[in-house]
Amino acid sequence: MSVELFLFYMAATISLVSTVLALTRYNATHALIYLIISLLASAIIFYLVGAPFAAVLEIVIYAGAIMVLFVFVVMMLNLGAQGDTLEHEWLKPGMWILPTFLCLILFMEMVYVLSGSSHLLPGTAVSPKEVGIKLYGPYVLAVEIASMLLLAGLVGAYHLGRRYLMDSRGED
């Protein structure tokens, strides 16, 4: 077993375990931290597969911006210990049965699809330069659309967040 394969399995295990933990915590902050760990593990897998640029993006944007945004909002809501007791009420063990069963079937179907392919082909690394050329070549329209999407998200978030801030200032 090569080093890469071993590293891959280890990163995959970390990713899986931390995702499971993230989904089952009562405390929201704990769950978010575990998710960040999962994303870091994914970044390692990206690097191992030969997409270092994607790994960097995963850490910087996904774990670094999006998850931090989550953490900010959790802090802003400021639920505290009361939030934990609410979670205890909401998350009864019996509720896991049906969704787990359904998703297990879904997973098995996906594995059935994947099992038709040949296995363990070695991958090739793709350098960031190639990615850049492709991005501003054939995919330049997709880039423009993505930027407009982000603009829309920006405006929406600003608008939805604005009232809250104004009202809370008014209440003071």
Partner 1 sequence: MFDLISFIPLFPLVSFVILFATQGNLGKLPVAILGVGSIGLSATIVMLIAFQWLTSGATEPHIYTITSWISVAGFNPRFSFLLDGLSLTMMLVITGVGFLIHLYSSLFMEDDEDYSRFFAYMNLFVCAMLVLVLADNLLLLYLGWEGVGLCSYLLIGFWYEDESNGAAARKAFIITRIGDTAMALGIFLLFMHLGTLEIQPMLQAANQMWATGDKIPTIAALLILGGAVGKSAQLPLQTWLPDAMAGPTPVSALIHAATMVTAGVYLIARMHELYLLAPLAQSTVAVVGLATLLIAAFTALTQTDIKRILAYSTISQIGYMFLALGVGAWASGIFHLMTHAFFKALLFLGAGAVVYSLHHEHDIFKMGGLRKKLPVAFWSFMIGSAALTALPLTSGYFSKDEILLAAFKVEPWLWAGGVLGAFLTSIYSFRLVFIVFFGSTNTEPSEPAGLRMAVPLMILMVLAMIGGFFHVPVDAVFPLLPETHHNQTIAIITPLVPLLGVLLAYFLFLRKSLNLSFLLDSSMGRNLRKFFFSHWAMDWLYDRVFVVPYKTFARLNQSDVVDQVYEGIANVTSILHYLISFSQTGHLRWYALTMVTGLVFVLAIILGII
Partner 2 sequence: MEQGLVLAALLFAMGLVGVMVRRNIILILMSVEVMLNACGLAFIVAGARWGQADGQIMFMLILAIAAAEVSVGLGLLLQVHRRLGSIDIDKTSRLKG
Site for partner 1 in 113-172 (CB under 8 A): 113
What is the Cα–Cα distance from 159 to 141, expressed in whole angstroms?
Answer: 27
CB under 5 to 8 A by kind: which of partner 1, partner 2, none does 112 bind?
Answer: partner 1
Report the residue number, 68 or 103, with the smaller CB distance to partner 1.
103
CB of 38 to partner 1, least distance (A): 21
- Burial code (b: 16+ CB inside 10 Å, e: under 16) for 130-144 equals eeeeeeeeeeeeeee
The DSSP string of 78-138 is --THHHHHHHHHH--GGGGHHHHHHHHHHHHHHHHHHTTS---PPP----HHHHHHHHTTT
**Binding site partner of 166, from partner 1, partner 2, none, Cβ cut-off 5-8 A by kind:** none
Size of interface with partner 1, in residues (CB under 8 A): 9
Q: Which does 31 bind (CB under 5 to 8 A by kind): partner 1, partner 2, none?
A: partner 2
Which residues of this chain interact with partner 1, rule CB under 8 A? 98-99, 102-103, 105-106, 109, 112-113
